[in-house]
Structure 1
Amino acid sequence: MTPDKRQTPARIAATAALVTALLGGCAAPQLAVSPRPVPRPAAAQPAPAPVQPSAESQALAAYYARVQADLLDQGLLRSDGGGTDTPFTDTMLTENFIRVALFDEYRRTGGGLVAQETQSRLRRWEAPVRVSLNFGASVSADRRATDRARISSYLTRLSQITGHPIMLDDRNPNFFVQVVNEDERRALGPVIRATLPELSSAEVAGLTDLPRSTYCIVYALSEGSASTYARAFAVIRAEHPDLLRLSCMHEEIAQGLGLANDSPLARPSIFNDDEEFALLTRQDEMMLRILYDPALHPGMTATEARPVVRQIAARMLGGAS
């Protein structure tokens, strides 16, 4: 299991009345004919109003708005993908990939997750990644439409980067994304247990009882001892303002694809807890491309993967070590 924490236009229907003139013979009496009334079209049902969030949820929304404003004031949460101020070489790309893809940020124990970096094996999806997007009742229709459009576009981008099928699919999903507020997340236990029945009570609580410092979280699970993912479950706080919300979506989905760890040396990257970058960067794209390169395979150790990764990175960057 790989856990990662971070902190429509209205339609108007018009009806036209059709008037028919009845002509009678000269000998026939004139009859007044009343046309059958045309039934009025049913009025469009307005979308249900969002559920009013609790005082605690509203306080969190205000808090995260301040967090985002503070980070932006510091020049963080960049969305430019990196530039001339963030150069990296093929050697740096290789080592960043090894640290991000072949180490885990958390260790699974009987009492839940423990923050402890441990060496792992290369893990990724072999089956197509089918993402469902589920919203709590507190999320407005406009906000849902925006989130869905953004995630759909992002999944298309990820599929193009990796060469792996990744798409929205609410009918038969294996990657579940929940956008919920504080109250809705605490009630997710039954949904989580039905989706990930192998989780312990402590691990379920790790999803439902997030501290304020955890912005979002994803669990990606393999079946048995396999190194290929079978399911993933991500939780995004609905209280987040626009950029923090999109940042969580970018990181949790990408980490759920197999880039499980963060590294303070990875720059430019969202796989770094310094919050410098909000959205997937150029180096992140390269790491995802390496992860799904056919020259690598699930289950490889860092020792096995490093020489292959070095060759791929040199090819990508022209050997600029």
Structure 2
Amino acid sequence: MRRISALALCLITACAPMPGAEVTKSAALDGRSFAEGGAASPFGMASPIRAERSNTEMARDFLDLAFRMESGRAIAVLSRFEGPITVGVRGEMPNIAAGELSDLLARLRNEAGLDIRTVGADQPAAITIDFVPRAQMRRAVPTAACFVVPGVSSFADYKAARGTAQVDWTQLTRRERVVIVIPSDTSTQEVRDCLHEELAQAIGPLNDLYHLPDSVFNDDNFHTVLTGFDMLILRAFYAPDLQSGMNEAEVARRLPAVLARLNPDGEGRGGQMKTVAPRSWVQAVEQSFGARGGAAKAAAERMVSIANAQGWRDGRMAFSHYALGRAQVTSNPEAAVRAFTRAAEIYRTLPGGQVHGAHVDMQLAAVALSNGQPGQAVQFADRAIPVVRQSQNAALLATLMLLKAEALDAQGKVAEARAMRLDSLGWARYGFGPEAQVRARMAEVAALGARGRRGG
């Protein structure tokens, strides 16, 4: 479940779990509706970060992803589609969705080796993507931005079967029908992100793990499109050595040979096995990103304390410091910078962690701009922008470009600032949606610049 968006400029909040459905992408932080941005995808085909861990680690991650739900419930047997996977669309599909879906399915064929294709609206499909108005979806599932459910082929069917065994993932031994529900009136990037995460979970693992630094199967939500790790996991999920109905022990026995064949570079490499985060730390995450002020800080401090007690030196420790920085960004900017800096130091030692480091740089650029340090803001933005462009996060890219433009203005580089703002507009429309949302983000950044010019 996506409980956190790492994109809010300085104050980041979280959404509570959606009752009655366990695999979702949580709602946008501010709860506002977005209209379709109208911009074509500005990105070419993704160049995903390759999986860089040992196959021993990969095997443990696979089992944790495949045999547990996000809630912690155990899954008794592996379930997947057997045979070709067909994808259909219902409802008012935004204009950009067809292209995004086509690109994603091409990646799933080429990188994950899946036999997957679209079918016409008049044909039955294994996976149905049902686009419904956000307000209609929210009446049934108030906190979800999008979600995936087994056993049904439409949002209406889900509402009728909600709470029954028919839509319980843990009851499956083989996947036959799945519906993905996405708002028809959301931003371009939100549609794309929902397609990536929900289609991957409709096909493959249902769990998210906080210790994965290079995956969308992680509730920190720093990655927004499927990575090389994700594609390798999906390829292994559909290896002929495995089949629906196998229990965890049976899959564990066959998995080393599967991974040796699919990922020879992972053989014979060292690595550190990681255990699933305790529920107490997950609860502290939810509390920190679901609150503000002192409550958020106290929960973030619990995150750091638990991470230290667990002896973590991975992304969970970095995320704990990130949360602590976020919780203090307005009340104690100096402490926030120290926490963000520590988070970035850890993230940059991890495979795929440069994406997380770019998110930290956005926060640091915002703090520097608001504290009257435009030169530092430019440096942070310049370091992050190439990484964010490669990771295809248009909303974060637009935010960084706006921060840089405001910093250039503060340095008297007016022409450069104007050009940077113009360049940011296409990314902003893709990432945030209509002009009103783009102007709102520009106003937020301008307010930080004004605060910096006043002396913080």
Report the TM-score, using the length of structure 1 for normalisation. 0.60
Unaligned stretches of 5+ in structure 1?
8-57, 66-78, 106-114, 187-207
Calculate the aligned-residue CA RMSD, in Å.
Answer: 3.1
C-alpha contact (below 8 Å) 1:179/1:235 kept by paired residues: yes
Report what 2:106 is aligned to.
156
Q: Which deviations, in whole Å up to 9, do the C-alpha atoms of 1:78-118 show, x marking residues without a partner?
A: x76336xx84221221111111122223xxxxxxxxx4432
1:132-173 Cα deviation digits (max 9, x unpaired)? 11233xx6xxx32x2112212212322334444211112222
- The answer on whether the counterparts of 2:88 and 2:128 sit within 8 Å (CA) in structure 1 is yes
> What pairs with 1:72-151 in structure 2 (closer than 5 Å)?
81-82=48-49, 87-105=52-70, 115-136=71-92, 143-144=94-95, 146-151=96-101
Residues 49-91 of structure 1 show CA distances to partners (whole Å, capped at 9, x for unaligned) of xxxxxxxxx96225999xxxxxxxxxxxxx76336xx842212
Q: Select the residue among 260, 267, 273 that pairs with 2:213.
A: 267
1:220 to 116, 136, 150: 150
Amino acid in structure 2 at the alignment position of 1:153? D
- For these two proteins, the number of residue pairs brought into alignment is 219
Q: Deviations over 1:31-66 (max 9, x none)?
A: xxxxxxxxxxxxxxxxxxxxxxxxxxx96225999x
Q: Which segments of 5 or more consecutive residues in structure 2 lack a partner in the other structure? A: 1-19, 38-45, 153-164, 271-456
- The Cα of 1:298 is off from its aligned counterpart by 1.1
State yes or no: 1:238 paired with 2:257. no
> Aligned partners of 2:115 and 2:34: how far apart in 1?
38
CA distance in 1, matches of 2:36, 2:58: 32
- For 2:23, what is the secondary structure of its paired residue? strand
Distance 1:134 1:104 in 2: 27
Which structure carries more strand by proportion?
Answer: 1
Q: 2:128 aligns with which of 169, 176, 179?
A: 176
Displacement of 1:229 after TM fit?
A: 0.6
Q: Does 2:27 align with 1:60?
A: no
Select which of 209, 234, 238 maps to 2:140: 209
Whose RCO is larger (CA < 8 A, sep 6+)?
1
Q: In 2 relative to 1, CA 60–275 (structure 1 residues): closer, same or farther, beyond 3 Å? A: same
Indicate whether 1:278 and 2:224 are aligned.
yes
Structure 1 or 2, whichever has the larger Rg, is: 1
2:385 matched residue in structure 1: none
3-state secondary structure, aligned to 2:243: coil
* Deviation at residue 282 of structure 1 after TM alignment: 0.3
Residue identity matched to 1:61: S
SS in 1 for 2:33: helix
Match of 1:167 in 2: 117
SS state of the match for residue 104, structure 1?
Answer: coil
Name the structure 2 match of 1:19: none
- Matched residue type, 1:183: A
Q: Which amino acid aligns with 1:304?
A: E
Please state how far the C-alpha of 1:2 moved relative to its aligned partner: 8.6
